[in-house]
Amino acid sequence: MNEMRRGTLEEQTFYERVGGEQTFRRLVHRFYQGVAEDPLLRPMYPEEDLGPAEERLALFLMQYWGGPRTYSEQRGHPRLRMRHVPFTVNRAAHDAWLRHMREAVDELELPPAEAGELWRYLTYAAATMINSPG
């Protein structure tokens, strides 16, 4: 009986349910389009090209949600807070980050349950990155 259920929603990862790599790459690309124009967030990316940062976030999110483990294979444990220590992440940066991510999530037009699950994680993750008052 279990073999007959293979591939059902109960057995799929979130990554698979929302469309896999293509969905996460669309999400992150749209997010970085907003970051590129943001006067608060853009200076946090010293590289002229946001492509490497976009790739890292896409790989991290794909892995987190049940996709390939490429992020850890290339970069080790995510250690998100540690990786963000060099940057001033205050409430304004948090809010700007979430504003761009909200636009990106909305453009995916995911089913409400999946959109809600993704958004809950993103808001939690953004809150944990705050490392500076103000």
- Per-residue pLDDT tens over the stretch 87-117: 678 999 999 999 999 999 999 999 999 999 9
Answer yes or no: is 10 within a domain.
no
Q: Which two tokens stand for residue 81?
A: 């807070």
Interior CA angle at 57 toward 64 and 21, to 5°?
A: 65
Which residue type occupies 45?
Y
> Which pTM value belongs to this model?
0.84
In a domain, 57, yes or no: yes
Domain around 62: 17-129
What was the pLDDT predicted at 5?
Answer: 45
Cα dihedral angle (20, 22, 28, 32), rounded to 10 degrees? 180
Please name which of 117, 57, 55, 51 lies closest in space to residue 84, comparing C-alpha atoms.
57
36: CATH: 1.10.490.10
Q: How many domains does the chain have?
A: 1
Higher pLDDT, 131 or 36: 36
Question: Per-residue confidence at 10, pLDDT binned at 50, 70, 90?
Answer: low
76 part of a folded domain: yes
